[in-house]
A and B are shown apart, each in its own frame.
Chain A
Amino acid sequence: MTVPTPCCATVDGTCPELVLDRFAMRYGRHPAVAAIDLAIPPCAITAIVGPSGCGKSSLLAGLNRLDELVPGAVVTGSVRWRGRDVRARDQDVPTLRRSLALIAQRPVPFPLSIANNLALPLRDHGCPRTEVAARSERALRQVGLWEEVRHRLGQSATTLSGGQQQRLCLARALALGPEVLLLDEPCSALDPVAAGVIEDLIVSLRGFYTVVLVTHDLAQARRVADHVAILWPTPHGGRLVVSGGPDQLDGHTCGDPAISAYLRAQRVAGATTSASAVLDA
């Protein structure tokens, strides 16, 4: 099994970039995402923010073709990664999904031991048996879980706390050597302390991986992201209304009072309930 090198470590500096070109998605007749053009910069954290139902998670699933598991999901336009359409006929889907790893909103540990949660995907992707333990340990250290679980690797992963399970899921993906991490509201099912740990972890990945973080929390996006894209629900599906650095969002009205009100409300909410604030307290 060849392990992709984290993008910023490539010698020639040609970091892969994800480019969405008129990307749209619908479920049957119900539109989820309107035609979106977006370039996701490499080795940076890009947050996709928006209210519920704006198509954030659908967009994320469309990036590594997980939408294909949903009956009736139809994607148009293209997603180019490393200059190739991810939906090209000769694209190897398991390899694509290993390289563009998606971590779900709710942690889903496999009903196996902690060790086997990491070992199963590694072995399935052809990792030699002699390397499995070392790669698992490296990934667990990367997410700061090694010291907590090193003496109970044989125990069921479901005995871990919610925050630990989410870090295990992240480690499971990292062990496979992905280049892009697709994080679908990874903190939303966690308590503020566990959410703070995951947030710090995401920040620590900056520069090593291209991270696409879906969140409904604009304050979180401001704290961790280098780039923010805001999706807004419309009858034609989620539409991209703002895209740029977090600072560029201030005072943005988009010509739509509803969006301005949303941005204002998020600013107020973020000032009072940020995970960092809770941690500091």
Chain B
Amino acid sequence: MPEHRLIHWRWRSTLANATVFALTAVVVAILAWLVIDLLRSAWPRLSWNLLTEDPRRAGRAGGLAPILVATAGVLTVCLAVVVPLGLATAIALAEARGRWANMVRASLDVLAGAPSIVVGLFGLLIFGDALGLGYSLASGGLTLAMMVLPVVVRLGEAALRAVPAELPATAAALGLSRTSCWLRLIIPTALPGLLAALALGVGRALAETAALLFTAGASERMPESLADPGRVLAVHIYELAMNVAGGEASAAASAVVLLAILTASQALGLAAIARSRRSRPS
């Protein structure tokens, strides 16, 4: 290569590296700005009591205890539906071919992109009214499951399909049963991808507001069962920011707690993925 072209190539390479670095720095800076600004606004309200006390003065004072319980309740209902149903559907779709399977995939894709307010309205009509669950954690959890399920199923299917085709073919060549093949070979191999799908679903569920306003309600009281209404963290932040004068510091503190829970859930997901990768050859 002539020297002037080599110099030109080096300049272009340096420019490309610098652009990538700058864009990465911008993304990190935005996140850092967000976290620092939130922490600054939330600082006066951050204390251990925030996690243990009931809210007072419409959330301007006190803590988040019933909000956290309601969030955990809704998430539990959601995961209780999504994990078995999502895995089973992902397996069925990974095995299925043909028009019907494609129709199911297309339906899931449409559902995944449906506005949460629409899903919330549907949840209110079906779970709240038709099934008689009213405003409750159960109703909210089931509605949330409807929103999360398509994402988990499609990502789970992709993870299962990413398993090399030689693996089930080899298992079949040895006369292994399909159950053994799925339970001992395919699912363990796809486990990191399945866990990543679930972690993404949990993230979406924790951040959801609109659908839960219609279904779980916005009551600040401590829920005593899944049949009680409750206010999840995202709804609490919305209420404090939009409907409570002087609630900005509490909203920021709640947002910090939500971010911490999200980060912890993602970290747990990553740890589980790493663990499943390490423990596979056993």
Instruction: List residues of A whose CB falls within 8 A of some B CB.
Output: 64, 66, 69, 71, 93-98, 101-104, 106, 108, 110-113, 116, 120-121, 124-125, 154-158, 169, 172-173, 176
Contact = CB atoms under 8 A, between A and B. Distances in A.
The bracket for how many chain B residues form the interface is 20 to 34
Interface in B94-122: 97
B175 A125 contact: yes
Contact of A113 (B169, B180, B281): B281
A94 B282 contact: no
A112 B176 CA distance: 15
28 contacts: A64-B173, A66-B172, A69-B168, A93-B175, A94-B175, A97-B174, A101-B173, A101-B174, A103-B173, A104-B166, A104-B169, A104-B173, A108-B167, A111-B167, A111-B188, A112-B184, A112-B280, A112-B281, A113-B281, A113-B282, A116-B282, A120-B185, A124-B177, A125-B175, A156-B281, A169-B170, A172-B174, A173-B174
Contacts of A102: 173
B250 interface: no
A106 B282 contact: no
Given A71-B97, A106-B166, A110-B170, A121 B281 contact: no
B281 A94 contact: no
A93 B173 CA distance: 10
A97 B281 contact: no
A95 B177 CA distance: 10
Task: Name the 7 nearest CB pairs between A and B, nearest first.
Answer: A156-B281, A94-B175, A97-B175, A98-B175, A108-B170, A102-B173, A108-B166
A112 to B, nearest CB: 6
Contacts of B97: 71
A97 B282 contact: no
Given A66-B173, A94-B177, A121-B175, 15 more contacts: A66-B169, A66-B172, A95-B175, A97-B172, A97-B173, A104-B170, A106-B166, A108-B167, A111-B167, A120-B184, A154-B281, A158-B281, A172-B174, A173-B174, A176-B174
